[in-house]
């Protein structure tokens, strides 16, 4: 076989191998997240995570497996807390900084432990941990991306549900502050443009509630 063809062939094999590992680990993470939330009495839906992955891919078409895993698993800590939102946030804001910090730290630890057990690549585990650790506040390119996609997905999927479920027990103002915060924390212009109609729709639902 000519040398050039051999190089192309090897490159293609390496690409297919890496692509298969990527799909394999992402599927394993999805399974882990789904099973973890199924055990949780307060929230079984994974729609928010599916849509976060979708919006990450719209914002960054070449997002690699580490980014997609972080996007799907960013809220994993909630599956291990199973707290009742109505009780937890009775005396605190829905975006209480202390609660968010704990939520980020716990999520990063849960996913680091899971991925280490799966013998995933070390540098990718570190990137995933960093993205989950900062997904509420951002601070670098990758965690800003997760934060922005999380905000779009929240405004699209969670905000209308929050309005219907939480306005009565927590009050309209508290729910509105959370929705506004989720929109205002978005870093990229493109993400803000995508999020805007979902944001306006959530505020409309809130106003007509």
Q: Which one, 75 or 156, has the nearer CB to Fe ion? A: 75
Minimal distance in Å, beta carbon 38 to Fe ion?
18
- Record the tokens describing residue 49, joined without a space: 């995570």
Q: Which is nearer to Fe ion, 25 or 76 (CB)?
A: 76
Closest distance to Fe ion from the beta carbon of 153 (Å): 7
The minimum distance between CB 105 and Fe ion, in angstroms, equals 11
In whole angstroms, the minimum distance from the beta carbon of 188 to Fe ion comes to 17
The three state secondary structure string of the chain is CCHHHHHHHHHHHHHHHHHHHHHHHHHHHHHHHHHHHHCCCCCCCCHHHHHHHHHHHHHCCCCCHHHHHHHHHCCCHHHHHCCCHHHHCCCCCCCCHHHHHHHHHHHHHHHHHHHHHCCCCHHHHHHHHHHHHCCCCCCCHHHHHHHHHHHHHHHHHHHHHHHHHHHHHHCHHHHHHHHHHHHHCCCCHHHHHHHHHHHHHHHHHHHCC
Residue number with CB closer to Fe ion (101 or 121) = 101
User: Please, which of residues 165-184 interact with Fe ion by CB under 5 A?
Assistant: none
* Segment interacting with Fe ion (CB under 5 A) among 29-37, 71-79, 174-182, 197-205: 71-79
The reply on whether position 148 binds Fe ion by CB under 5 A is no
- Choosing from 66, 150, 182, 183, the residue that interacts with Fe ion (CB under 5 A) is 150
The nearest distance, CB 160 to Fe ion, in angstroms, is 15
Q: Which stretch binds Fe ion (CB under 5 A): 85-93, 115-123, 148-156, 176-184?
A: 148-156
Using CB under 5 A, which of the segments 7-15, 149-157, 170-178, 189-197 binds Fe ion?
149-157
Rounded distance between C-alpha atoms, residue 4 and residue 65, angstroms? 29
Tell me how far apart the alpha carbons of residues 133 and 105 are, in angstroms, rounded to a whole number.
Answer: 5
> Using CB atoms within 10 A of its CB, is residue 87 exposed (0-12), middle (13-18) or buried (19+)?
exposed
Residues in binding contact with Fe ion, number by CB under 5 A: 2
Given 75, 144, 148, 156, the residue binding Fe ion (CB under 5 A) = 75
Q: How far is the CB of 47 from Fe ion (least distance, A)?
A: 11
Residues in the site for Fe ion, rule: CB under 5 A?
75, 150
């Amino acid at each position: 076989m000519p040398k050039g063809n051999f190089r192309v062939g090897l490159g293609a094999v390496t690409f297919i191998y890496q692509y298969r590992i990527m799909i394999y680990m992402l599927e394993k993470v999805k399974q882990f997240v789904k099973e973890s939330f199924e055990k949780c009495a307060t929230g079984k839906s994974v729609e928010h995570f599916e849509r976060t992955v979708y919006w990450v891919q719209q914002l960054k078409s070449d997002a690699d497996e580490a980014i997609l895993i972080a996007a799907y698993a960013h809220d994993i800590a909630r599956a291990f807390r199973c707290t009742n939102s109505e009780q937890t946030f009775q005396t605190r804001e829905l975006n209480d900084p202390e609660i968010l910090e704990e939520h980020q730290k716990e999520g990063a630890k849960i996913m680091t432990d899971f991925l280490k057990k799966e013998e995933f690549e070390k540098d990718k585990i570190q990137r995933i941990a960093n993205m989950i650790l900062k997904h509420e506040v951002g601070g670098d390119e990758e965690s800003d991306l997760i934060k922005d996609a999380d905000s779009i997905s929240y405004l699209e999927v969670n905000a209308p549900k929050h309005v219907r479920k939480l306005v009565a027990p927590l009050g309209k103002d508290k729910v509105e502050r959370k929705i506004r915060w989720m929109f205002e924390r978005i870093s990229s212009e493109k993400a803000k443009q995508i999020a805007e109609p979902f944001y306006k729709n959530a505020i409309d639902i809130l106003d007509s509630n």
